[in-house]
């Protein structure tokens, strides 16, 4: 079996991580592991679990590891393609488990960090619009062809509850609180083959993507 490659993509809310994730998936034909999309779908369900998750997400809080991990490793067990982790791992517990998986399967990994100053994060998220199919837009930076309508599926776009200002600030804080220990954890795991890449997110979508691709091929 050929050696697998994995990409872990992180970035503060509003840094265009979702868009970059899609570009990488298309360009490199990746299997995407994206617990955030799954959780938001689950949160729409009027079940006990759905209501609980909706509550956690709305207040910028984190969903318990075991709930997320179960889905992640089920998806991985069925996969043979290269992998993109988008919005995962979020905790050192998840990172530890993932490091073990990457090591065991001899997976070469790129840890890609998109950066963006906090001031710009707030500005960007205010213009964000989402679709129930998982697509995201920005009224200024990435508008749909038809106002308020998803290009991909034609549904009406909406403003996510986690796009409100106080929640954004909480999410940015949470992002730093979560991501920094995860990076530190991986940097100490010398038994896992991991390359760290940092990309400036305050540029055009295509330029950010080109930077990521260039950094990957440079170190491949
Ligand atoms: Zn859509």
Q: Which residue has the tokens 């409100």?
A: 164
Q: Answer yes or no: are the C-beta atoms of 111 and 98 closer than 8 Å.
A: no
Residues near 108 by beta carbon (within 8 Å), at least 6 away in sequence: 3, 4, 5, 6, 193, 195
Residue 216: its H or E element: helix 205-219
CA of 154 from ligand 1 middle (Å) equals: 6
CA of 133 from ligand 1 middle (Å) equals: 4
The number of residues making up the chain comes to: 220
CA of 138 from ligand 1 middle (Å) equals: 14
Residues near 54 by beta carbon (within 8 Å), at least 6 away in sequence: 43, 44
Q: Which pLDDT score, from 0 to 100, does residue 164 have?
A: 78
Q: Which pLDDT score, from 0 to 100, does residue 207 have?
A: 97
Q: Which pLDDT score, from 0 to 100, does residue 7 have?
A: 98
The residues annotated as belonging to the active site are 17, 90, 128, 160, 171
CB atoms within 10 A of CB 200: 13
Residues near 33 by beta carbon (within 8 Å), at least 6 away in sequence: 72, 75, 76, 83, 84, 85, 86, 88
Q: What one-character DSSP code corresponds to residue 220? A: -
Rounded to whole angstroms, the Cα distance separating 102 from 178 reads 20
Rounded to whole angstroms, the Cα distance separating 80 from 3 reads 10
CA of 156 from ligand 1 middle (Å) equals: 8
CA of 157 from ligand 1 middle (Å) equals: 8
Q: Answer yes or no: are the C-beta atoms of 86 and 175 closer than 8 Å.
A: no
Residues near 61 by beta carbon (within 8 Å), at least 6 away in sequence: 174
Q: What share of the chain is helix, strand, coil (3-state, %, to 5)?
A: 50, 15, 35
First to last CA, the chain: 19
- Among residues 37, 42, 35, the alpha carbon closest in space to that of 68 is found at 35
CA of 180 from ligand 1 middle (Å) equals: 32
Q: Which pLDDT score, from 0 to 100, does residue 174 have?
A: 86
CA of 64 from ligand 1 middle (Å) equals: 28
Complete domains list, the chain, with CATH: 5-116+165-219 (3.40.50.300)
- Show pLDDT as tens, one digit a residue, over the chain (220 residues): 458 999 999 999 888 888 999 999 999 999 999 988 888 888 888 888 889 888 887 877 778 888 889 889 999 999 999 999 998 998 899 999 999 999 999 999 999 999 999 889 988 888 889 999 999 898 887 899 999 999 999 999 999 887 778 888 888 998 899 899 999 999 999 999 999 999 999 999 999 999 999 999 987 7
């Amino acid at each position: 079996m050929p050696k697998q490659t994995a990409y872990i993509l992180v970035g503060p809310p509003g840094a265009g991580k979702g868009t970059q994730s899609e570009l990488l998936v298309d360009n490199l034909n990746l299997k995407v592991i994206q617990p955030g999309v799954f959780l938001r779908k689950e949160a729409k369900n009027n079940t006990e679990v759905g209501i609980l998750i909706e509550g956690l997400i709305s207040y910028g809080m984190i969903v318990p590891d075991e709930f997320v991990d179960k889905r992640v490793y089920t998806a991985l067990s069925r996969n043979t393609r290269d992998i993109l982790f988008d919005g995962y791992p979020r905790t050192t517990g998840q990172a530890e488990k993932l490091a073990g998986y990457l090591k065991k399967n001899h997976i070469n990994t790129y840890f890609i960090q998109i950066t963006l100053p906090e001031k710009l994060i707030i500005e960007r998220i205010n213009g964000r619009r989402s679709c129930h199919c998982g697509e995201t837009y920005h009224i200024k930076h990435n508008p749909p062809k038809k106002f308020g309508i998803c290009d991909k599926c034609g549904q009406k776009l909406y403003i996510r509850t986690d796009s409100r200002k106080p929640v954004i600030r909480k999410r940015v804080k949470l992002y730093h609180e979560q991501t920094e220990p995860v990076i530190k954890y991986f940097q100490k795991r010398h038994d896992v083959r991991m390359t760290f890449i940092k990309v400036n997110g305050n540029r055009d979508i295509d330029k950010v993507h080109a930077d990521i691709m260039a950094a990957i091929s440079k170190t491949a």
